[in-house]
């Protein structure tokens, strides 16, 4: 009877310890403005990389580069507008 009593108390105390352990808090979600800022920085970085690639292209003519830059600027501006609407 003593063994049953001791094992029951031991089992209850162990289960209480396991359930009492705190789970780590989930990381906070970024706010809407933070998300917009992150996306804006990514967009700027991608724009600068593409612009640099167009300007440093060894085979493209000056006219081709101008057309590609114009298209890139239009694409960039439309994406920026969409980002601001969010």
Residue 73's nearest CA partner among 43, 47, 41 is 47
Q: Return the percent helix, strand and coil in the chain, to nearest 5.
A: 80, 0, 20
- 8 A C-beta contact, residue 83 and residue 43: yes
Give the global pTM: 0.64
- Side-chain-side CA neighbours of 35 within 13 Å: the count stands at 9
d(CA 54, CA 61): 10
- For the chain, 86 residues long, give each residue's pLDDT as a single digit of tens: 777 677 777 666 666 655 556 667 777 888 888 999 999 999 999 999 999 999 999 998 999 999 999 999 999 999 999 998 87
């Amino acid at each position: 009877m003593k063994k049953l009593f001791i094992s029951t108390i031991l089992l209850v105390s162990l289960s209480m310890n396991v359930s009492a352990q705190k789970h780590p808090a989930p990381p906070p979600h970024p706010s809407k403005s933070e998300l917009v800022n992150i996306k804006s920085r990514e967009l700027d970085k991608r724009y600068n990389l593409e612009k640099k690639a167009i300007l440093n292209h060894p085979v493209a003519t000056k006219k081709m580069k101008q057309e590609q830059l114009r298209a890139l600027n239009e694409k960039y501006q439309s994406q920026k507008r969409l980002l601001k609407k969010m």
